[in-house]
Structure 1
Amino acid sequence: MSLSSDPLLPGTHTVSIQGVLQRYHVTGSGPLCLVHPGGPGLGWEYLRMPELEQHLTLVYLEPIGTGGSGHLPRPQDYRIDTYAHFLHSVVEHLNVPSVFLLGHSHGGFVAQQYALIHPAALAGLILYDTSPCTGQEFWDQALATLDRLPQRHPDQPEAATIPRLFRHALAATDNASCTQALRAVLPAYFADYWAREADLAPLRASLRAWVDPMRAEQPPFDVRDRLGQIATPTLIISGAHDFICGPDWGRLLHEGIAHAQFLLLQNSGHLGHLEQPGAFTAAINASTFGAGRPAEAT
């Protein structure tokens, strides 16, 4: 049951899905695109994309377990298929023929799963700084790249502390410590956080995280052998300096999905919508409006 009479009216909405509240936010104008944030357990606000809102109607989800959405009984209940189920319930609630779907990072895992299960619901897919798999190789590569952060920024003492702090971040036991840990390691997610520290400090101070979704222990995500089944037109966006979902994983998605385009943001880390918003928006516009293929952005 929706608590709003018009599910696409600009503003905040809440729908009950099998007794669990799912909150989402509608803003912008143009074709409809659902937005699934990363994490898991991360507040949606970091993914706000004002430039894109000028071209698309964006429906930002607050994933279950975060913000004003409901919580599940146990951490292990936060599974990729569960997020995909809640996503589809929102799509059905909106009652539209098809939607675009943008998934960032962990949200990209959800988006891939959704595209495999509900291809008819999608007009297009945007896989943003994500990967077709996790597991040992994924984490080894991420941590090795993270360990090079101090060498990339030798003039920033904070950079030397982040690799150690990141390894301890998952030890958080409550929402406050989880949020504190996330804020501490945030600079690693940018190509050069300190070059824009004054502009990005408010984002860092406002980040929120919820510990239960982050504590979920699940088998590694891996759809590499199923990528060929994704027939939805797909745009893949990777940041050249993304330590956690680096461009190698984006290229793997590009190779595996038949109807895929690939954009490499040369001056971005994990948050290209903040670091190169013009190129990010232009690529999505070209994809969603059929205006051609995106090129590498410098």
Structure 2
Amino acid sequence: MLDEIRYAPSKDTKVAYRIVGSGSPLVIVSGLGDSMDAWKESIVQTLAKEYCVILPDNRGMGLTKIGSIAPQKMTISQYAEDVFAVIQKEGLTGICLLGHSMGGMIAQEFALSYPDTVKKLMLFATDYGPESSYRARLMNRCVLPLQALSVIAPWHTKGFRAGACAIASWKGTAERLSTIQCKTLLLFGDTDFLMHIEVGHEMHTMISTSALKVVAGGTHRMHDLYPREFAKTVQAFFGEAAEQKKE
């Protein structure tokens, strides 16, 4: 089975990504501070039996160098452009796109910028920006101090600082989510402290083609706690796209 690390040029850096398996392309975008190695191998191998799984490293994380962009200037849109560089390098169309947390923000920007490229979209434990009700009440209290801390704290990497700054400066997608036309699954846990289920319900009303799945006892990193169940959820949602790709 194919299992390689490849690189795609994107402006001032090369985006590293792992490509595993064969079949319909499934691109998984990681959250703040995570790299391709953060995804449990059991999840990757299970999905790789049905899909060509592609796991990019965001700028400054894992094997992807941050390039010349200063951490405080990094944007969610730039992360999305980096993902597109991977898609271009592989010559892909009709991808299944999954984004977790900050990766879900990146996935939203990608789907809005390249709607013809995305067949199905899964937004996992994320929000739609500073206008999200829970972000307005709680996350701004966390994200803005996190941005300041990550600029001055020497123990955080440039990649982590870049991600924190990108989240804090992101204007969000509140006015644009209604334009998403592909089938979308919103996956939330009902005990997620960071990305509250309330935001999932809001996004569900904004995206007419969406379904909302709430996992009882699910946390922000429930894919780590319940890898088998998570993989099954991904397979169930993207399965139709995979079957259509084979026809």
| Range class of TM-score, shorter chain | 0.7 to 0.9
Give the match for residue 26 of structure 2: 33
Tell me how far 1:214 sits from its aligned partner: 2.5
The 2-side partners of 1:275 and 1:52 are apart by: 17
The 1-side partners of 2:104 and 2:115 are apart by: 15
CA 1:84–1:220: 2 relative to 1, 3 Å: closer
After TM superposition, list the pairs within 5 Å mapping 1:129-168 onto structure 2.
129-134=125-130, 137-139=133-135, 141-142=137-138
The 1-side partners of 2:169 and 2:116 are apart by: 27
**2:156 is the alignment partner of 1:178:** yes
Give the match for residue 181 of structure 2: 231
Give the match for residue 17 of structure 1: 10
Is the 1:228–1:256 Cα contact (8 Å) retained in structure 2?
A: yes
After TM superposition, list the pairs within 5 Å mapping 1:1-12 onto structure 2.
9-12=2-5
**Hey, which of these two has a bigger chunk of strand by percent?**
2
Is the 1:175–1:211 Cα contact (8 Å) retained in structure 2?
A: no
Q: Secondary structure at the match of 2:208?
A: coil
After TM superposition, list the pairs within 5 Å mapping 1:1-298 onto structure 2.
9-39=2-32, 41-48=33-40, 49-50=43-44, 51-71=46-66, 72-134=68-130, 137-139=133-135, 141-142=137-138, 171-173=149-151, 177-178=155-156, 210-216=160-166, 219-290=169-240
The 2-side partners of 1:178 and 1:210 are apart by: 6
- CA offsets 1:69-119 (integer angstroms, 9 cap, x no match): 121331233111111111111111111232111111111111111111111
Tell me how far 1:253 sits from its aligned partner: 1.5
CA 1:168–1:81: 2 relative to 1, 3 Å: closer
Is the 1:236–1:254 Cα contact (8 Å) retained in structure 2?
A: yes
The 2-side partners of 1:223 and 1:60 are apart by: 24
CA 1:211–1:174: 2 relative to 1, 3 Å: farther
- CA offsets 1:27-47 (integer angstroms, 9 cap, x no match): 2343211111111x4333223
CA 1:55–1:272: 2 relative to 1, 3 Å: farther
CA 1:286–1:42: 2 relative to 1, 3 Å: closer
CA 1:60–1:233: 2 relative to 1, 3 Å: same
Give the number of aligned pairs: 236
Q: Which moved more, 1:102-111 or 1:220-229?
A: 220-229
Percentage of matched positions with identical amino acids: 21
The 2-side partners of 1:277 and 1:61 are apart by: 19
Higher relative contact order (CA 8 A, sep 6+): 2
Is the 2:7–2:17 Cα contact (8 Å) retained in structure 1?
A: yes
- CA offsets 1:45-74 (integer angstroms, 9 cap, x no match): 223433333332211010112222121331
Structure 2 unaligned residues grouped into runs of 5+: 242-247
The 2-side partners of 1:259 and 1:136 are apart by: 19
Is the 2:60–2:159 Cα contact (8 Å) retained in structure 1?
A: no
Q: Secondary structure at the match of 1:171?
A: helix
Is the 2:59–2:79 Cα contact (8 Å) retained in structure 1?
A: yes
Tell me how far 1:121 sits from its aligned partner: 0.5
Tell me how far 1:170 sits from its aligned partner: 5.5
TM-score of the aligned structures, taking structure 2 as reference length: 0.82
- CA offsets 1:270-294 (integer angstroms, 9 cap, x no match): 1121222333222222221239xxx
Q: Which moved more, 1:212-221 or 1:270-279?
A: 212-221
Aligned alpha-carbon RMSD (Å): 3.0
Of the two, which has the highest radius of gyration? 1
The 1-side partners of 2:155 and 2:108 are apart by: 30
CA 1:73–1:117: 2 relative to 1, 3 Å: closer
